[in-house]
């Protein structure tokens, strides 16, 4: 495929997304029906689509419309792309621009410039104050790729050396002593020896920093109550050097966790229903995902106010359920990949108001300006 043909394919996929088709489904359907497209073509088309999703409103403003074609035009204007070579009509590329299209488009302002729905932009302004704009603008760009060093099998020096042998260059990152920022060779990671042998795991630096803040000690009995794929489960297992009990309301989310734990040399027990009490219970609760919208940009356009309200109810219920699983001297930890105070500091305050016999030990909000995704963590102990 020519570069122009990739842009045309992206524009058509964006139109399907606009009609309500989930992004991943639209991309998968296109790939299945486009056997001529090679792996580089598929990656390029995907990148164009996700760049437009991250900049959904600003590309529409710059392109003068809400069609896939207009958004691709807006994306090229945003990135200073060459319009003349992109819109030629040759090689299955987009048709030449009309006089109207050449003149259409405005500089985005307000929520358009922030690339957020109006109601979410208001929450950013209210909750993040002078950090609101920087956070919103950071979410318009691709996220960096991070690795976590699995300290059960490697250290910084050995992990970086093994990665370098595979053509993967990394830098240590300040958010966590186990975090490596990938600066070259990110596409090689999944098939690399260090990854396949469990020396490293893909995990955002701020997500690692959340685990660093937990008072984990060797021999602790630990429950990861909302384990999902198990990234934080494995990170805790490396620190505790013991068995982590992993639970998720949807056990299907944990289907790959046993094989991941085996690869990492970690001891993990997945359960449909946890039993007994634990020295530390982590609730990495379902949330808006607003802190990770660089990676899943469709989320900020699909989220509704009713969705957020329902999530807040679930989060509070999980806290009330899991507090009963904590030993008398144990720790309850609450985490989200969100930057919205309603899901973070306000949930903490409401939990403490409902439970005066608990006290807050520590809380921290990580924002993209810190170097990773947006995460929040708070730890509680009984008074």
Res 35: pLDDT: 85
Mean confidence (pLDDT) of the chain: 95
And the tokens for 243?
Answer: 């068995």
Domains of the chain, CATH where assigned: 3-108 (no CATH), 146-202 (3.30.70.1170), 213-382 (3.40.50.150)
Longest dimension (CA), the chain: 72
Res 52: pLDDT: 97
Has residue 250 got a pLDDT over 90? yes
Res 383: pLDDT: 81
From residue 375, alpha-carbon distances to 82, 200, 207 in Å are 37, 21, 7
Backbone torsions φ then ψ of 289, nearest 5 degrees: 75, 15
Neighbouring residues of 80: CB distance < 8 A, sequence distance ≥ 6 = none
Region 288-295 average pLDDT: 96
Res 91: pLDDT: 81
And the tokens for 337?
Answer: 């990949």
Q: What is the dihedral of CA 324, 326, 327, 331, to 10 degrees?
A: -140
Sorting pLDDT into bands at 50, 70 and 90, what band is 242? confident
CA 79 to CA 14: how far, in whole Å? 18
Has residue 75 got a pLDDT over 90? yes
Has residue 113 got a pLDDT over 90? yes
Sorting pLDDT into bands at 50, 70 and 90, what band is 90? confident
pTM of the model: 0.93
Contact of 39 with 74, CB cutoff 8 Å: no
Q: Note the pLDDT tens digit of each residue in 8-24.
A: 999 999 999 999 999 99
């Amino acid at each position: 495929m020519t570069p122009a043909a990739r842009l045309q394919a992206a524009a058509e996929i964006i139109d399907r997304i606009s009609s309500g088709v989930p992004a991943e489904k639209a991309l998968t359907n296109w790939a299945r029906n486009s056997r001529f497209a090679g792996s580089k073509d598929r990656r390029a088309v995907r990148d164009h689509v996700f760049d437009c999703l991250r900049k959904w409103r600003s590309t529409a403003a710059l392109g003068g419309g809400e069609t896939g074609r207009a958004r691709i035009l807006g994306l090229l204007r945003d990135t200073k792309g060459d319009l003349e070579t992109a819109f030629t009509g040759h090689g299955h590329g987009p048709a030449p621009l009309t006089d109207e299209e050449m003149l259409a488009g405005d500089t985005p302002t307000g929520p358009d410039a922030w690339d957020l729905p109006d109601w979410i932009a208001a929450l950013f302004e209210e909750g993040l104050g002078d950090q609101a704009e920087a956070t919103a603008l950071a979410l318009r760009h691709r996220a960096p790729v991070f690795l976590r060093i699995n300290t059960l099998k490697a250290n910084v020096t050995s992990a970086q050396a093994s990665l370098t042998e595979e053509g993967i260059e990394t830098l240590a990152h300040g958010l966590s002593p186990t975090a490596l920022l990938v600066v070259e060779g990110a596409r090689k990671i999944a098939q690399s020896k260090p990854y396949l042998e469990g020396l490293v795991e893909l995990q955002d630096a701020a997500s690692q920093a959340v685990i660093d803040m937990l008072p984990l000690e060797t021999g602790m009995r630990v429950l990861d109550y909302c384990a999902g794929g198990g990234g934080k489960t494995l990170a805790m297992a490396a620190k505790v050097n013991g068995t982590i009990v992993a639970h998720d309301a949807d056990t299907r989310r944990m289907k790959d966790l046993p094989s991941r734990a085996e690869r990492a040399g970690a001891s993990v027990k997945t359960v449909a229903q946890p039993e007994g009490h634990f020295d530390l219970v982590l609730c990495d609760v379902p949330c808006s995902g607003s802190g990770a919208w660089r990676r899943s940009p469709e989320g900020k356009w699909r989220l509704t106010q009713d969705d957020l309200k329902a999530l807040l109810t679930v989060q509070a219920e999980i806290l009330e359920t899991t507090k009963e699983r904590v030993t008398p001297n144990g720790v309850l930890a609450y985490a989200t990949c969100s930057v919205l105070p309603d899901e973070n500091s306000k949930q903490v305050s409401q939990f403490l108001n409902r439970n005066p016999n608990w006290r807050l030990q520590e809380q921290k909000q990580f924002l993209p300006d810190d170097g990773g995704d947006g995460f929040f963590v708070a730890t509680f102990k009984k008074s």
